[in-house]
Structure 1
Amino acid sequence: MPNISQKGRLMPSSPIRKLVPYAEEAYKAGKTVYHLNIGQPDIKTPQIALDAVKTHSLDIIAYTRSEGSEAYRNKIANYYKTNDISVNSNDIIVTTGGSEALLFAFGSVMDIDDEIIIPEPFYANYNGFSTASGVNVVPVISKIEDNFALPPIEEFEKLITPKTKAILICNPGNPTGYLYSKEEIRKLANIVKKYNLFLIADEVYREFAYDGHTHHSILQEDDIKEHAIVIDSVSKRYSMCGARIGYLVSKNKELISTALKFAQARLSPPTLAQIASEAALDTPQSYFDNVITDYVSRRDTLINELEKIEGVTVAKPNGAFYCIAELPIKNADRFAQWLLESFDIDNETVMVAPAGGFYSTPGMGLNQIRIAYVLNEDSLVKAVNILKQALKVYND
């Protein structure tokens, strides 16, 4: 039998999706499963985006340019300008989701065995992208007792070696919901200038900032324009996860020309999804105002209910729609599987994402879960009650 690659063997399973078979068995058994495990919003996609696909006049669904259609990139640039970010269409490469933008960024700035520093916990697929690119994640630990704030810059400096090529952040954060302040962004800007590194910021949740806080992009730091790479996506902003449209944005011309070669190798991003995404840029601000109001209410309901459970610690997010909760258990993987296989209340159970997969440091986060508050408030209350009752009887 031919051998599977070592890279393939090392590729991590998704902590978000690996429990799907157990959820499917629960469905077959007639159970209702409340999905707190995945960031698939139940918010409706803007009608303007759906209509654009329904009414298009194309006779052939042809390739677009490898960097995305010029009309779409011009509209993206205008979107950034309305958010006080000055870029032009030539600074943008449209990708097949933010995931591809990350892969293009990794491939453009790092070689095999190079290193990237990432505050953890972090979006679980960063581990997968790093493995696929042959680069090494060097974690710097942020702590739940600090609400997952940026670790001290001294902790970053301790980790920098000749192989370090970049620092990666998610702002606001997945899985923590932490929103970096302007001061924290400037601290990172100073360190990438000092050590001549790239700063990659995954900003796909930019619109979702709460409690009077505002999002500050790394592209607003003019003195690091050669260092800054932004990853963006329509998935969460417009509840268009299945469109698979993202972008890589940088004012570094050499970086963009290098990433374009990766884009050319995969030909082009999906045509119909670009049509929908271009139309989505005309979504009125009232849509986002309503969504943010909804998420703040959901967050407050979720946090209030979790804080009623004895032994549970939860960090309060100021952005995105995730939080990390620490449970009075030893192993969240086993607990999450047990919930789906062996526990229900009136034939209802809950699916969560074990947080260990959002760390790269062995042994970290084993008693934590990530919760996505993408359900309505009644469902969130029911789901947290199931967790509460489950913790009373679970014994690991």
Structure 2
Amino acid sequence: MLEVSQRGRAMPVSPYRKLTPFADEAKQRGVHVYHLNIGQPDIETPPAMMAAVQQADIRVLEYSPSAGSVSYRQKLAAYYQRAGMNVVPDDILVTSGGSEAIFFAMMSCLNPGDEVIVPEPFYGAYTAFAIATTVNIVPVTSTMDEGFALPAISEFEKVITPRTKAILICNPNNPTGYVYSRTELEQMRDLCLRHNLYFLSDEAYREFCYDSEYFSAFQLEGAEEHVVLLDTVSKRYSACGARLGALVTKNKQLQATALKFAQMRVSAPGLSQLMGEAATELPDSYFEHTKAEYTARRDLMVSRLRAMPGVYCPVPGGAFYVVARLPVDDSEKFCQWLLEAFTYDNQTVMLSPGAGFYATPGLGNDEVRLAYVLNLDDLNVALTCLEKGLAAYPGRKHAPEETAVLQEAKA
């Protein structure tokens, strides 16, 4: 009998897509599903990006250089320079989405069996990348009660072994929305220098910081050989389908190594690089509008969640996600129940169960990640669906005051 690979059997299902079959079945029944499960913004992709492809005079759609087209890398370097980063075109390897940048980084920085330390909860796909590259994730847990702030550096020190080769962060964080401060980044830099580790910084949401100025790991002094910036246009410009990202490092040996992996897949999408060039020329006002919109969505989501009995969430400082603790027996069961058995005015909501964002067994079982990627009207309706669903869910955990009211009603 033919068998699939052990690697394939170990590969997890995406925590934000795993319930898609249940959402599809709900839609087939005529139920409207509001998607708060995945970071797919409904904000319009900048028309200038679309026009760059529509108006291109191309007779033959050729391969681009494996590192990316020279013109795009030049314009992308200028974008980073405007953001305060000392980046030149040769520091940039253009990738097929941020996902490929993460994959190339793991393949280039770590050997099979090596360890990468990641604060949890973390972007769910990191687990899949680690399995694909036969690397082990070592989690250091941040807690909701602390707002998902960076754990003490001593907690990182405790788990460093001879197999530890890198630290990986997402800043602003997916799924928590936490924004690491300059002080926290400097602490991680010092740790990487002490133990000779790579510092991998996934900065997909750089433009979306709502309460403070953003500071990039690439701006850290004295760590040029250690820092690897992982980036994408997907969220920044609401262009997820472009599949255009970048791996940025001043480490020449690492850059040359990553290029060999890039040559393996030949080139990043040529049409997307045209879109990327157009994106680098957008005015700053583009981000002023999108930040204002996401700030309003965040404030609505947090206020609505905190008004629901038994629900708690911190206020995220960036990105467009909230991790919330729910009064339910099991968040995955609850999320599936919302799609299988619940409707409110023939509508329901799709969420991402929290456990898929942790490596430590048992954590996240009463948490969900919600993406505030819908316009305010739709977001408000989706949160009403969630509120009604929580009230009706058979596995709801009642707070002591709710239990007392129920017992009095029964009496």
Q: State the TM-score bracket (shorter-chain normalisation).
A: over 0.9
Alignment of 1:136-285 (within 5 A): 136-211=136-211, 213-285=212-284
User: What residue is the counterpart of 1:47 in the other structure?
Assistant: 47
What is the identity percentage for the equivalent residue pairs of Structure 1 and Structure 2?
Answer: 50
Tell me how far 1:284 sits from its aligned partner. Answer: 1.2
Between the aligned partners of 2:66 and 2:19, the Cα distance in structure 1 is 36
Tell me how far 1:330 sits from its aligned partner. Answer: 2.0
Between the aligned partners of 2:24 and 2:202, the Cα distance in structure 1 is 31
Between the aligned partners of 1:381 and 1:53, the Cα distance in structure 2 is 35
Q: TM-score, normalised by structure 1?
A: 0.99
2:243 corresponds to which letter in structure 1? R
Tell me how far 1:214 sits from its aligned partner. Answer: 1.1
1:83 corresponds to which letter in structure 2? A
Is residue 82 of structure 2 the alignment partner of residue 71 of structure 1? no
Higher deviation after alignment, 80-89 or 1-10? 1-10
Is residue 376 of structure 2 the alignment partner of residue 367 of structure 1? no
Between the aligned partners of 1:315 and 1:136, the Cα distance in structure 2 is 29
Between the aligned partners of 1:42 and 1:387, the Cα distance in structure 2 is 20
User: What residue is the counterpart of 1:109 in the other structure?
Assistant: 109
Between the aligned partners of 1:297 and 1:143, the Cα distance in structure 2 is 25
Is residue 344 of structure 2 the alignment partner of residue 345 of structure 1? yes
Tell me how far 1:52 sits from its aligned partner. Answer: 0.5
User: What residue is the counterpart of 1:389 in the other structure?
Assistant: 388
Alignment of 1:292-307 (within 5 A): 292-307=291-306
User: What residue is the counterpart of 2:399 in the other structure?
Assistant: none
Is residue 96 of structure 2 the alignment partner of residue 96 of structure 1? yes
Match of 1:8, SS state, is helix
Between the aligned partners of 2:52 and 2:375, the Cα distance in structure 1 is 28
Question: Which structure's CA Rg is the greater one?
Answer: 2
Alignment of 1:309-328 (within 5 A): 309-328=308-327
Match of 2:12, SS state, is coil
Alignment of 1:27-46 (within 5 A): 27-46=27-46
Q: Deviations over 1:266-313 (max 9, x none)?
A: 100011111111111111111110000000001001100001111111
Q: TM-score, normalised by structure 2?
A: 0.95
Between the aligned partners of 1:292 and 1:393, the Cα distance in structure 2 is 35
Tell me how far 1:383 sits from its aligned partner. Answer: 1.3
**Unmatched tracts of structure 2, length 5 or more:** 396-411
1:79 corresponds to which letter in structure 2? Y
Tell me how far 1:222 sits from its aligned partner. Answer: 2.2
1:292 corresponds to which letter in structure 2? K
User: What residue is the counterpart of 2:403 in the other structure?
Assistant: none
Between the aligned partners of 2:222 and 2:254, the Cα distance in structure 1 is 16
Alignment RMSD (CA, Å): 0.7
Q: Deviations over 1:97-134 (max 9, x none)?
A: 00000110000011111000000000000000000000
Between the aligned partners of 1:360 and 1:251, the Cα distance in structure 2 is 31
1:76 corresponds to which letter in structure 2? L
Between the aligned partners of 2:262 and 2:378, the Cα distance in structure 1 is 41
Name segments (4+ residues, structure 1) moved above 4 Å: none
Match of 1:137, SS state, is strand
Tell me how far 1:19 sits from its aligned partner. Answer: 0.8
Match of 2:222, SS state, is helix
Alignment of 1:14-29 (within 5 A): 14-29=14-29
Match of 1:222, SS state, is coil
User: What residue is the counterpart of 1:336 in the other structure?
Assistant: 335
Between the aligned partners of 1:104 and 1:15, the Cα distance in structure 2 is 22
Match of 2:167, SS state, is strand
User: What residue is the counterpart of 1:57 in the other structure?
Assistant: 57
Between the aligned partners of 2:378 and 2:147, the Cα distance in structure 1 is 25
Between the aligned partners of 1:259 and 1:231, the Cα distance in structure 2 is 12
Tell me how far 1:35 sits from its aligned partner. Answer: 0.6
Tell me how far 1:395 sits from its aligned partner. Answer: 2.1
Between the aligned partners of 1:345 and 1:81, the Cα distance in structure 2 is 49
Between the aligned partners of 2:160 and 2:366, the Cα distance in structure 1 is 29
Match of 1:300, SS state, is helix
1:162 corresponds to which letter in structure 2? P
User: What residue is the counterpart of 2:407 in the other structure?
Assistant: none
1:317 corresponds to which letter in structure 2? P
Tell me how far 1:392 sits from its aligned partner. Answer: 1.4
